[in-house]
């Protein structure tokens, strides 16, 4: 099995320690994070080996067999080193490290050496659960059989430990195995989570681009279609035909200009100025454009604009633009009123048109306009409603609260 990448566990631990460091508790030096996992894990193993026979720790180390203490000798040192130093390779060869550590632990318990090195066995168990890829079931079976053999050997050596104590110790060390298994599952699931997050991001970006294209283009194209349809009835009045063609040309140029601005905003390599996007100050020009398409529009504003922020002003502008676009599509030629009320809690918008017969050849729509706007308004904490009125007209109302989310 090849070397394990620092991967999930390393990034997880680094993230935790980095977060602690930001709160002033722990600071992980960058030079240490840049070291290979063998160096870092080896440092942990060496530290455990150095602490193995420190009196306060050694006296409270793992005492599974509870056999009488034996003086430290060369075999005790070898057993301690077997449980600690191989941890440097715990990610590369987890099963081999576990086998060596388990052997050292068995010698330590059967000989009665007082040592703190038993903590290395817990790290080895965790590592085997986290990094062993092949023959995991066989490794688990051998480990359990080895533990049962050690329990029998300790009992034969005169250990006073009861069966229930062996079972309790087994459950305790299984917590390390469970922790390693959980990290392994999370590491395996991480690529899938990344793919799902990337797919969601792509879908969201596609929806945003479609929404912006709809908002920018639909109004102008609808106006051009309405003007072109009207031109066929003006053949007897060349001056009116000329005015209509001029209006179509102007609308097309505005559409191209706004499309270029939109593509600039969507270009990730270009920082587009927010000033290129329309705000409520551009509503009079929008009303004039709509009138030039043959739609009688009246604009009324109450109060003084301000406090919305550029992002919310853009949304408010799009609400009016979409409502006027729908009026051009489904109520051409009917008087339409745009009312903006600037209040302390935000701007209140109402766009309605008079009742009348449906057009013989309505301009079709995608159905995404008002739904997309409703979503954008609700994200800002506002609300949007659209529907027919009692007298047969149509009314769009929206409330966009104050605050700048741009």
DSSP letter string, 165-189: HHHHHHHHHHHHHHHHHHHHHHHHH
Name the residue ranges covered by the structural domains of the chain: 7-197, 198-401
Provide the 10 A C-beta neighbour count for residue 189.
12
**Cα→Cα distances 92→6, 98, 188, 243, Å:** 11, 12, 17, 79
- Report pTM: 0.49
Angle at 209 between CA 273 and CA 385, to 5 degrees: 100
Token pair for 167: 């079972």
**Cα→Cα distances 54→45, 51, 116, Å:** 15, 5, 8
CB 177 within 8 A of CB 124: no
Tokens 């009116």: give the residue: 240
CB 363 within 8 A of CB 225: yes
Q: Which residues pair with 400 in a beta bridge?
A: 347
Tokens 């966009």: give the residue: 400
**Cα→Cα distances 71→49, 75, 115, 120, 121, Å:** 17, 10, 11, 21, 22
Q: What are phi and psi of 122, to 5 degrees?
A: -65, -40
Residue of 269, 277, 264, 374 whose CA lies nearest to 322? 374
Q: What are phi and psi of 134, to 5 degrees?
A: -105, 150
The two most distant CA atoms of the chain are separated, in Å, by: 118
DSSP H or E segment with residue 119: helix 119-131
Alpha helix segments (H runs only) across 233-292: 238-266, 283-292
CA 253 to chain centre: 39
Question: How confident is the model at residue 34, as a pLDDT?
Answer: 74
CB 187 within 8 A of CB 10: no
Question: How confident is the model at residue 376, as a pLDDT?
Answer: 84
The pLDDT tens digits along the chain (406 residues) read: 444 444 444 544 445 444 444 444 445 677 777 778 888 888 888 888 888 888 888 767 777 878 888 888 889 899 989 999 999 898 889 999 999 999 999 998 888 888 888 888 889 999 998 888 888 888 888 888 888 888 898 888 888 888 888 888 888 888 888 888 898 888 888 888 888 887 887 777 677 666 767 666 676 677 777 667 666 666 666 666 677 677 777 777 767 766 766 666 556 555 545 556 788 888 998 898 888 877 899 999 998 877 788 788 888 988 998 888 888 888 888 899 999 999 888 999 999 988 877 665 555 555 567 787 888 888 888 999 998 888 888 899 999 998 654 4
CATH class of 198-401: alpha beta
For 259-272, letters b (16+ CB in 10 Å) and e give eebbeebeeeeeee
């Amino acid at each position: 099995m090849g070397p394990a990448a620092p991967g999930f566990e390393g990034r997880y631990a680094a993230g935790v320690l980095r977060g602690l460091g930001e709160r002033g508790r722990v600071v992980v030096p960058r030079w240490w994070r840049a070291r290979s996992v063998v160096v870092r894990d080896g440092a942990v193993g060496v530290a455990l080996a150095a602490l193995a026979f420190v009196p306060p720790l050694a006296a409270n180390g793992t005492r599974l067999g509870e056999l009488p203490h034996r003086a430290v000798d060369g075999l005790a040192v070898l057993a301690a080193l077997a449980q600690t130093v191989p941890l440097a390779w715990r990610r590369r060869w987890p099963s081999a490290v576990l086998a060596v550590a388990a052997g050292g632990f068995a010698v330590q318990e059967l000989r009665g050496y007082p040592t703190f090195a038993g903590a290395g066995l817990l790290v080895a168990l965790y590592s085997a659960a986290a990094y062993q890829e092949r023959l995991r079931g066989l490794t688990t079976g051998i480990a359990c059989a080895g533990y049962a053999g050690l329990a029998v050997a300790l009992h034969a050596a005169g250990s006073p430990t009861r069966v229930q104590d062996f079972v309790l110790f087994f459950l305790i060390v299984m917590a390390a195995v469970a922790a390693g298994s959980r990290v392994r599952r999370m590491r395996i699931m991480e690529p899938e989570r990344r793919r799902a997050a990337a797919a969601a991001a792509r879908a969201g970006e596609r929806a945003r681009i479609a929404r912006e294209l709809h908002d920018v283009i639909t109004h102008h194209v609808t106006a051009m279609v309405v003007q072109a349809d009207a031109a066929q009835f003006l053949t007897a009045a060349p001056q009116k035909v000329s005015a209509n063609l001029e209006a179509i040309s102007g609308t097309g140029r505005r559409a191209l200009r706004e499309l270029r601005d939109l593509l600039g905003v969507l270009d990730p390599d270009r920082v587009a100025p927010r000033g290129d996007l329309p705000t409520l100050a551009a509503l009079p020009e929008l009303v004039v454009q709509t009138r030039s398409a043959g739609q009688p529009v009246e604009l009324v504003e109450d109060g003084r604009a301000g406090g919305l922020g550029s992002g919310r002003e853009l949304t408010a502008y799009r609400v009016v633009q979409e409502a006027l676009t729908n009026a051009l599509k489904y109520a051409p030629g009917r008087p339409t009123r745009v009312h903006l009320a600037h209040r302390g809690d935000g701007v209140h918008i109402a766009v309605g048109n008079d009742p009348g017969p449906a057009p013989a050849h309505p301009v079709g729509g995608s159905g995404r306009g008002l739904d997309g706007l409703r979503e954008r308004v609700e994200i800002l904490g506002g609300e949007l409603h659209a529907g027919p009125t009692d007298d047969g007209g149509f009314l769009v109302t929206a409330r966009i609260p104050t605050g700048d989310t741009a």
